[in-house]
Structure 1
Amino acid sequence: MSNVIVVGCGRVGSQLANMLSDNGNNVCCIDKNADAFANLGRNFNGSTVQGVGFDEDVLIRAGVEECDVLAAVTQLDNTNLMCAEVANHLFGVPHVISRLYNPDHERAYMQLGIDYVCGTSLVAEDVFSKIVSGHGSHIDTFGEFEVLRFTLDLSSRDNAKTIRVSELERDHEVRIIAFERADGSASSIPTPDSLLYAGDSILACVRHDVIAQFSRYILD
């Protein structure tokens, strides 16, 4: 369960806030227009704060000091960028995601190290996948798939020390792209018979709809 702030309560923001809330997260939605909160519907069980999403006082009221993820999904690139910068640099929010309308700004976002979703369709689903993947593991999105880099956690398997690549791929419909031993002694593109050890660094391609299940292998 994460503490998430969603800035912007339009179609995308309200959909994202409800998806996150339904997934068991603590969600606070910020919008400068109080009427926008009607988009959340009656079943939303998070909180709301009226105000501008890059205002420090507004963010503090929304719980930014205990926030794990902030998603800025208003309809204005400049507003989303300012929200992301304030959350990241002033409050140290671990994971900040910004919606990006104008692809010409993509290079600037990359240079600033801001995670983003570019486009106008399926934005809520893409941001949701980034948040659910969590653990700072998200690298990129390709259609229905996320590329993740993470430390392998096998504690859910009765503290087993190893797992075979073929087993991990078969049971969870993922593709292991590469791995590096925990001590840095070796790295490799795996074969189906390769053994992965707890603590190894893994690069994997995971379909959106299995990330929640697969996250038990991602070390917090």
Structure 2
Amino acid sequence: MKIIIIGCGRVGAGLAETLSHHGHGVTVVDQAPAAFERLGPSFRGETITGGGFDRDILLTAGIEWCDGLAAVTTSDEVNLVAARAARQMFHVPRVVASLYDPRKAEVSRRLGLLTISPVTWGINRIVELLCYSRLEPVKSLGSGEVDVVEAEVPHLLAGRTVNELTVAGEILVVAITRQGKTFIPTLGTELREGDLVHLALLATSAERLKILMGWH
């Protein structure tokens, strides 16, 4: 894939090195030439000095035929302008913008832009690590609004059904691991003691899940 990265801060440099290591063609754009010093010796991509929302700079970076663009400067405004230009003017298939203001991130998602909000994700991740004592975090989705967790079925739930651990729009059992084999259950699947359940839940519904698991 051909990827353009706008911004060569810690995030941009790390992203560029990782993508380059995986064999993708990467071009990094930053206004400060010194920023490219963050790129390690293993980076095999290209660097361009200039503004991430400058049309000529984007054309030089190859935006007309790139597969994806990530705008990860420290400025929400720059990231938004670059992402919108890539998506709406150049029709880049995959565009991601990093936005520190959660309100801007929400508005951008409504406009069809893929965004990450480090602030929101960080808050929800810390809550997850502090409070999910019996839940094993596997992955956070979006900006941390939805989590994928694992938990062992307690004795009190043995013989109950998956339906009793399901709350529409909040908690969903997506898989069960039993005796080393993982399968997708139905609402009527019986839970057994020792089962490992894999659940998707809203970050705000962790306490409700604990109640359903009998941990309160």
For the 8 Å contact 2:116–2:142, the answer to whether it is kept is no
AA at the equivalent of 1:52: G
Partner Cα separation in structure 1 for residue 182 and residue 8 of structure 2: 33
- SS, match of residue 82 in structure 2: helix
- Identify which of structures 1 and 2 has the higher relative contact order when contacts are C-alpha pairs closer than 8 Å and 6+ apart: 1
Partner Cα separation in structure 2 for residue 85 and residue 174 of structure 1: 41
For the 8 Å contact 2:120–2:143, the answer to whether it is kept is no
Look up the match of 1:26: 25
- SS, match of residue 30 in structure 1: strand
- SS, match of residue 12 in structure 2: helix
- SS, match of residue 23 in structure 2: coil
Cα deviations across residues 118-161 of structure 1 (Å, max 9, x unaligned)?
A: 015999xxxxxxxxxxxxxxx8465776xxxxxxxxxxxxxxxx
Partner Cα separation in structure 2 for residue 92 and residue 85 of structure 1: 9
Q: How does 1:94-133 map to 2 (within 5 A)?
A: 94-119=93-118
Distance 1:191 1:52, change over 3 A: farther
Distance 1:106 1:4, change over 3 A: same
For the 8 Å contact 1:176–1:190, the answer to whether it is kept is no
For the 8 Å contact 2:117–2:143, the answer to whether it is kept is no
Partner Cα separation in structure 2 for residue 122 and residue 116 of structure 1: 11
Distance 1:121 1:11, change over 3 A: farther
Partner Cα separation in structure 1 for residue 66 and residue 79 of structure 2: 17
- SS, match of residue 13 in structure 1: helix
Distance 1:174 1:14, change over 3 A: farther
**Normalising by structure 1, what TM-score?**
0.57
Distance 1:107 1:26, change over 3 A: same
Q: How does 1:1-220 map to 2 (within 5 A)?
A: 2-119=1-118, 140=142, 142=144
- How many Å apart are 1:106 and its aligned residue? 2.5
Distance 1:19 1:104, change over 3 A: same
- How many Å apart are 1:104 and its aligned residue? 2.1
Partner Cα separation in structure 1 for residue 183 and residue 58 of structure 2: 39
AA at the equivalent of 2:27: C
For the 8 Å contact 2:102–2:120, the answer to whether it is kept is no
- How many Å apart are 1:97 and its aligned residue? 0.1
- SS, match of residue 45 in structure 1: coil
Partner Cα separation in structure 1 for residue 8 and residue 188 of structure 2: 46
Partner Cα separation in structure 2 for residue 66 and residue 90 of structure 1: 13
Distance 1:113 1:121, change over 3 A: closer
Identity, % of aligned pairs? 38
**Normalising by structure 2, what TM-score?**
0.58
Partner Cα separation in structure 1 for residue 90 and residue 182 of structure 2: 35
Look up the match of 2:205: none
Distance 1:28 1:121, change over 3 A: farther
- SS, match of residue 116 in structure 1: strand
Provide the aligned C-alpha RMSD in A: 3.3
- SS, match of residue 97 in structure 2: strand
